[in-house]
Structure 1
Amino acid sequence: MDENSALTPQEVADILKIAKNTVYELIKRGELNAYRVGKKVRVDVKDVEEYKNRTKSIKSDSHLGNFNERSGAGSLITEEFIRSGGFVICGQDVMLDILSRYLQMHPHGIQALRAYVGSYNGLYELYQGNVQIATAHLWDGDTGEYNVPYVKRMIPGVPAVIIHLAGRLQGFYVTKGNPKGIKGWEDLKRNDITIINREKGSGTRVLLDEHLRKLGISGRNIKGYDRESTSHLAIASTVARGGADIGIGNEKSGLQVKGIDFIPLQTERYDMIIKKEDIEKAPFKTVLEIIRSREFKTELEGIGGYDLKDLGKLVAET
């Protein structure tokens, strides 16, 4: 993405994994540069990157400080917060922001901090004890299963409970009208195709790499494979602007971007992972109560883009 490209506040919010209102607040406080085009607010990509780099500069020499650097969370997660008993929910979907709000408002709830990191890193931090809840949508190409094989491998010797949140449709973002006639994974073998990729550790990146492995395709042979972006919306926007022929992401995000067609490929399982030793503790019981409530489900239904028929269902214990 060109560093001088103009982003809307919503696109900035999706890149930073924050609410749009928070973007306006950052602009108001002078922490994020912006300008107006008529009545519309716009932010340059380079200013978003400068903001991210400034927040990353607040680190600790400890392992928890390294977590901030790896996750891109910057000052959002501090060593002091975690050591003081902070409750951290790890993952990138907006439903987790809604869950955090419900948790804060619940009579027996708690204020939760959000860590906006990908599935792989989230499981790693759960294993290390740095977060209380992780979420994942990691597809295993050998078994066709989501998440369970990864939880078993990445949290060894620690019993865990996997709770289903939602089904989400994953696929290709292509330019409106699909001028290159792209149909599926096999098209990645073509030499006239350029992609925009997700960051390492995200469930979408794992999905791509597993399919490439099964097809015997090396990422080195795909144009754009090393170009990374950290949100579905930013990926779709790049494709819409002609910066790539293919981006991979969920249907819900792609529909927010003009000039994009969505090619469905597979339905993924988005799950919540909790250590079994924690499941009967008060905050965790409240979390489960919330996600199984009619109110929470109704709000997600209003957003759209989720298959919620198994919301709150126990998937597996490891």
Structure 2
Amino acid sequence: MLEDTSLTAQEVADILKITKNTVYELIKRGDLNGYKVGKKIRIDVKDVEDYKNKTKNRRGTKTDVQEKNISTATNSYAFSINDTKVYSSSEFVICGQDVLLDILSRYLELNSQGIHVLRSYAGSFNALLGLYHGKVQIATSHLWDGDSNEYNIPYVRRMLPGIPSLIIHLACRTQGFYVQKGNPKGIKGWEDLKRPDINIVNREKGSGSRVLLDEHLRLIGVPGYTIKGYHRECVSHLAVASTVARGEADIGLGNEKSSQQVQGVDFIPLQKERYELVMKKEDMHKKPFKAIIDIIRSEEFKMELSGIGGYDLTETGKLIAEL
């Protein structure tokens, strides 16, 4: 029975003696494997045990210390468009999932006195929705439109109606398939999703990777529900790659950088994507927003990203569109 082997986020929180939000954060970071059943997050018992053993083996690392580090180092904010919390003028929410935003947040706090940066790890679609509703100050997006072959601009136009906006380029990343080591099923590209012997693991609704998959499925005429594993969701690239590495799926979609962090997977490059920052034009002359633009365009910031690897920084800091 599923109930005998899987746990809710609250049950995991009780076992590890941490908060439920920290459980979600661990899943988003790929430290703890999780998946969705309907609208609920579930975690397998064996994955909790693996996580506990992994942290025990880290010298000087304990779960309660890790919880403290997550909450203070990233200032994580669990985003919801239904959230009624009112943030003070000194609290600044940056929405998106890439690690480069954690680096950007650190630079902003160091360079802007009095600004307390909060991080939301919502996907691209919900990030733009949060910007529209005034729940976040900065959104990031890597949403591909299959009809125009454009990134982000078509979505910003539709999702921020009547709101003059700026799109500033952060980086390009390579999206592709994670497959098991050696690619035993000979997977080459999108057309392989038509095969009846293929089992996939998906990203959550609203993420840029999920939109990319759904757009390509639409273009090749394959309804998602016909693909085995389509409704199984993970909330990070690392969790998707790990699922494939364990042999629980044949294909997962994600960026190249995450494939390099997981043993047991190969990466099939499919598409170069544009990862970009979106802000309201009315904010561009305000202190924290000007600071963000200056940071993104600085050589120091670009050098740090270059050292991490996995990013094409050719256009970093370029104003892509005023809408």
TM-score w.r.t. length of structure 1: 0.79
Quick one: distance in 2 between partners of 1:109 and 1:96? 19
8 Å CA contact retained: 2:140, 2:278: yes
Q: Is residue 185 of structure 1 aligned with residue 197 of structure 2?
A: no
Offset of residue 213 of structure 1 = 0.4
Which residue does 1:40 correspond to in 2? Answer: 57
- Alignment counterpart, residue 28 of structure 2, candidates 6, 12, 16: 16
- Alignment counterpart, residue 118 of structure 1, candidates 123, 145, 162: 123
Q: Is residue 79 of structure 1 aligned with residue 85 of structure 2?
A: yes
Matches of residues 1-318 of structure 1 in structure 2 within 5 Å?
A: 3=6, 15-17=27-29, 35-36=52-53, 40=57, 68-69=79-80, 79-80=85-86, 82-83=87-88, 85-107=90-112, 110-318=115-323
Quick one: distance in 2 between partners of 1:190 and 1:273? 38
| RMSD over equivalenced CA pairs, Å | 3.0
Residue correspondences, number: 275
Aligned residue identity for 2:85? E
1:109-148: CA deviation from partner (whole Å, max 9, x where unpaired): 7221000000000000101111000000000000000000
Offset of residue 18 of structure 1 = 8.9
Offset of residue 91 of structure 1 = 0.2
Quick one: distance in 2 between partners of 1:127 and 1:188? 34
Offset of residue 37 of structure 1 = 6.5
Greater CA deviation, 103-112 or 164-173? Answer: 103-112
Quick one: distance in 1 between partners of 2:207 and 2:195? 24
Offset of residue 311 of structure 1 = 0.5
Quick one: distance in 1 between partners of 2:188 and 2:141? 26
For structure 2, the residue ranges without an aligned partner over 5 or more in a row are 8-22, 33-47, 72-76
| Amino-acid identity (%) | 61
Quick one: distance in 1 between partners of 2:281 and 2:308? 31
Assess, with a 3 A threshold, how the Cα gap between structure 1 residues 213 and 229 changes in structure 2: closer, same or farther.
same
| Helix, strand or coil at the partner of 2:144 | coil
For structure 1, the residue ranges without an aligned partner over 5 or more in a row are 5-10, 21-31, 42-46, 56-64, 72-76
TM-score w.r.t. length of structure 2: 0.78
Quick one: distance in 1 between partners of 2:305 and 2:203? 25
8 Å CA contact retained: 2:81, 2:129: no
